Amino acid sequence: MAVLWSKQDGDTRYEVRSAGNTRRLYTNGVFHSQYNPKQPVTGSVWDLLLLPAFFLPPARVRRVLVLGVGGGAVIRQLNHFLSPQQIVGVELDPTHLQIAREFFEVEQENVELHEADARWWLKQYRGEPFDMIIDDLFTDAGGDPQRAVEADGPWMRRLLKHLVADGVLVANFGSPQELKECAYFWQPSIGNKFEVAFQLTTPLYENAIAAFVRQPADSAALRGRLRSLPGLNPDHKSSKLNYRIRRL
């Protein structure tokens, strides 16, 4: 894999690597983003962040908030498969935003990027709520990725404040065990705000993606929806989509 671009900023090392048409972002050796415009399904974690959007009818995914842009892989996927009216991305690292624009081509007219701490941004936000919120806030510790914000009661209540009454909250956790420790399971005032929740995983990664859905939903309907979509039908031999889903 060739290194297209690199930058050393203090103790932080950034690299954009390529393999054919695929672009990958690494920060301090941690794999943050991957996207190939000719094959938008990555076969990795970013697919799992996208899939819960299909619990909603296509016309209902109008406004999406992405917390933790990285290179913007899931933003590119959202635009490829759904084209929401607006995608708002919030990212603390200005170099990640630079890379998203220059190497991942996250520059569509419906995309609005903000350089900010997601906690501060949400606290001061007073705009229209979102149909889907993706919490992908990760940092690195000793070369290993870890969540940047604990999914405790105050954080999940803040996310809920900006989610529509029938929306979907998606959150990336480092493992199924970390997911089980989030406030959804231990605070009824949080769990009761959702109709159903699911865990999505892929054999290639330890991450567990949670989809907290505020309307009735089931995995069979999701699978049926995906089979009807070119590029997302896992039954096709050419499909890279590889996921497992179970109800929590």
Rg (CA), the chain: 17
Average pLDDT (110-137) is: 98
Sorted by where each begins, the domain ranges of the chain are 40-247
Q: Is 40-247 in CATH node 3.40.50.150?
A: yes
- DSSP element (H, E) containing 191: helix 188-191
Q: How confident is the model at residue 23 (pLDDT cuts 50, 70, 90)?
A: very high
Q: What is the DSSP string of 108-158?
A: -TTEEEEES-HHHHHHH--S--EEEEEE--EEEETTEEEESS---HHHHHH
Per DSSP, what are the bridge partners of residue 141?
Answer: 144
**127-181 tens-digit pLDDT:** 999 999 999 999 877 777 889 999 999 999 999 999 999 999 999 999 999 999 9
Q: Considering only 24-33, 166-175, 183-192, which range has the smallest mean pLDDT? A: 24-33
Predicted structure pTM score: 0.97
The answer to whether residue 12 scores a pLDDT higher than 90 is yes
Mean pLDDT across 32-50: 93
The fraction of the chain above a pLDDT of 90, given in percent, is 88
| Mean of pLDDT over the chain | 95
